[in-house]
């Protein structure tokens, strides 16, 4: 069974640009969550999607958004990038009430 | 609000020595608890989980953890550490378990170094 796939693995963007990250969950998993990991703030929850609906949202500005498609694949978008958005973005997929399985992450560098 | 505390930021152990990583949680009901491991630049790998039942849970790579409700703890243990265990370890709890979310609250992590 394939794991969680995140693309791309690495990104370099310039301040002010926008970026879209993609996550393909494990087959059969309908819940997808996104986390931001930085050395200063650790692992912080961004949002969770279940059956194409956002079920939870973390404390991030509106520049951070996401969506989920009917095949459970998810994307997150960050607009007007700031230097502080440089981070490892992790996607996790879960069955309802089950453990989360993480992808390898997308390393975003904003210059 | 739920929270997870990992008191040790860094731990260094000798190869072959035993290991215990501490985790304390704050949660009103019976928590769903997890330990994850992360190698540099990689994603998180699930080591083990506690949902209910036996309070001593076995995981992968020879790790185990014990849930102690009275101490609000879920410490991770390994009897003999291998050099390949050097990584960062995260304890996590599901927020508001009840099926309404899979949101995880993480501790700050413990970075494990293994001396030869």
pLDDT at site B99: 59
Q: Mean pLDDT of all residues in chain A?
A: 95
Read off the pLDDT of each residue in A92-100 and give the average, rounded to a whole number.
86
What does the pLDDT read at residue A76? 98
- Distance linking the first and last C-alpha atoms of chain B: 41
CA distance B46 to chain A (A): 7
Please give the Cα distance from A89 to B48 (Å, whole number). Answer: 22
Are B104 and A90 in contact (CB < 8 Å)? no
pLDDT, mean of residues B92-113: 85
Q: Which two tokens stand for residue B31?
A: 């928590």
Q: Which residues of B42-72 are buried (b: 16+ CB within 10 A; e: fewer)?
A: bbbebbbbbbeeeeebebeeebbbbbeeeee
Tell me which residue of A3, A34, A18, A11 sits closest to A106, measured CA to CA. A11
B106/A4 touch (CB, cutoff 8 Å), yes or no: no
Predicted confidence (pLDDT) per residue in A13-67, tens digit: 999 999 999 999 999 999 999 999 999 999 999 999 999 999 989 999 999 999 9
The answer to whether B30 faces chain A, any CB pair under 8 Å, is: no
Alpha-carbon torsion angle A88, B90, B110, B15, nearest 10: -110
User: In the A/B pair of chains, how many CB contacts fall below 8 A?
Assistant: 58
CA B88 to CA B11: how far, in whole Å? 10
Is the pLDDT at B112 greater than 90, yes or no?
yes
- Residue A101 in contact with partner chain B when CB distance is under 8 A: yes
> Cα dist. A11→A21, A55, A77, A100, A108 in Å?
9, 27, 13, 24, 5
Q: Does the beta-carbon distance from B42 to A55 stay under 8 Å?
A: no
Are A33 and B103 in contact (CB < 8 Å)?
Answer: yes
Per residue in A82-92, pLDDT (tens digit) is 999 999 999 99
Of A88, A90, A100, the CB nearest to B102: A100
Reported as a single tens digit per residue, the pLDDT across B8-63 is 999 999 999 999 999 999 977 778 999 999 998 889 999 999 988 889 999 999 99
Whether the pLDDT of residue B6 is over 90: the answer is yes
Q: What are phi and psi of B71, to 5 degrees?
A: -110, 0
A107 close contact with B: CB closer than 8 A: yes
Output the pLDDT for position A70. Answer: 96
Can you say whether residue B69 is alpha, beta or left, with left for phi > 0 and alpha for psi between -120 and 50 degrees?
Answer: alpha
Q: Is the CB of B36 less than 8 angstroms away from the CB of A99?
A: no
pLDDT of residue A66: 97
pLDDT at A1 over 70: no
Selected residues 48-107 of chain B with any CB under 8 Å from a CB in chain A: 49, 90, 95, 97, 99-106
Please indicate if any CB of chain A lies within 8 Å of the CB of B44: yes
B40 in contact with chain A, both atoms CB, cutoff 8 A: no
List phi, psi (to 5°) of A66: -155, 175
Calculated CA dihedral for residues A72, A73, A76, A77, nearest 10 degrees = -120
């Amino acid at each position: 069974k394939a794991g969680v796939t995140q693309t791309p693995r690495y990104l370099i963007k310039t301040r002010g640009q926008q970026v879209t990250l993609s996550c393909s969950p494990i087959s059969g998993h309908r819940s997808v969550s996104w986390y931001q990991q930085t050395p200063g703030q650790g692992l912080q929850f961004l949002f969770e999607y279940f059956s194409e609906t956002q079920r939870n949202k973390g404390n991030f500005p509106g520049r951070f958004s996401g969506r989920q498609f009917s095949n459970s694949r998810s994307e997150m978008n960050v607009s007007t990038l700031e230097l502080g958005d440089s981070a490892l973005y992790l996607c996790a997929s879960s069955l309802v009430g089950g453990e989360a399985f993480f992808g390898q992450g997308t390393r975003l560098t904003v210059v | 609000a739920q929270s997870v505390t990992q008191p040790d930021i860094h731990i260094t152990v000798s190869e072959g020595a035993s290991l215990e990583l501490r985790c304390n949680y704050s949660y009103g009901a019976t928590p769903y608890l997890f330990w994850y491991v992360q190698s540099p630049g990689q994603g998180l790998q699930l080591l083990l989980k506690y949902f209910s039942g036996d309070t001593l849970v076995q995981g992968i790579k020879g790790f185990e953890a014990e849930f102690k409700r009275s101490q609000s703890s879920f410490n991770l243990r390994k009897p003999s550490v291998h050099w390949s265990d050097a990584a960062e370890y995260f304890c996590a709890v599901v927020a508001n378990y009840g099926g309404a979310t899979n949101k995880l609250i993480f501790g700050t992590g413990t970075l494990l170094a293994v001396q030869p």
